[in-house]
């Protein structure tokens, strides 16, 4: 069973994507099993917008919605420091066996904020 916080994110998802002109990160394979896609827009070193798309599992929707909500207004370092366990605590827990969706949401967020250095 979902916590009240997680259930609220499922019933009232926030920050659904995609975002045009945003950086992109994905965990899993869209169209082939569970996945989480995250788009972020950064300005002046901060994540000013974050949005997601996922395959629709309630736990995945809750984790993806919450990770985007948490990321806005933070630096990319936040994404590097955030763990799946942190996300699960903020959500008030996820059903047993669904923890992987928190890991996928965090991984997609991290990938979306990576900045490639070009020589």
Using CA atoms, how far apart are residues 69 and 119, in angstroms rounded to an integer? 33
Domains of the chain listed by start with CATH number: 4-113 (3.90.1010.10)
From its phi and psi, is residue 56 left (phi > 0), alpha (psi between -120 and 50) or beta? left
Per-residue pLDDT at 115? 61
All residue ranges of the chain with pLDDT < 70 are 115-119
pLDDT single digits (tens) 38-71: 999 999 999 999 999 999 799 999 999 999 999 9
Per-residue pLDDT at 31? 85
pTM attached to this predicted model: 0.92
Using CA atoms, how far apart are residues 41 and 95, in angstroms rounded to an integer? 31
Contact 87, 66 (CB under 8 A): yes
């Amino acid at each position: 069973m979902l916590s009240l916080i997680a259930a609220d994110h499922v019933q009232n998802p926030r920050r659904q994507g995609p975002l045009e002109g945003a950086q992109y990160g994905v965990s899993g394979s869209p169209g082939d099993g569970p996945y989480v896609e995250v788009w972020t827009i950064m300005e002046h070193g901060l994540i000013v917008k974050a949005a997601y798309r996922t395959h629709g599992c309630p736990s995945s929707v809750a984790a993806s919605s919450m990770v985007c909500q948490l990321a806005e207004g933070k630096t990319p370092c936040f994404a590097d420091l955030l763990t799946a366990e942190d996300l699960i605590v903020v959500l008030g827990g996820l059903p047993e066996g669904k923890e992987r969706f928190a890991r996928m949401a965090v991984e997609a967020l991290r990938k979306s904020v990576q900045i490639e250095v070009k020589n």
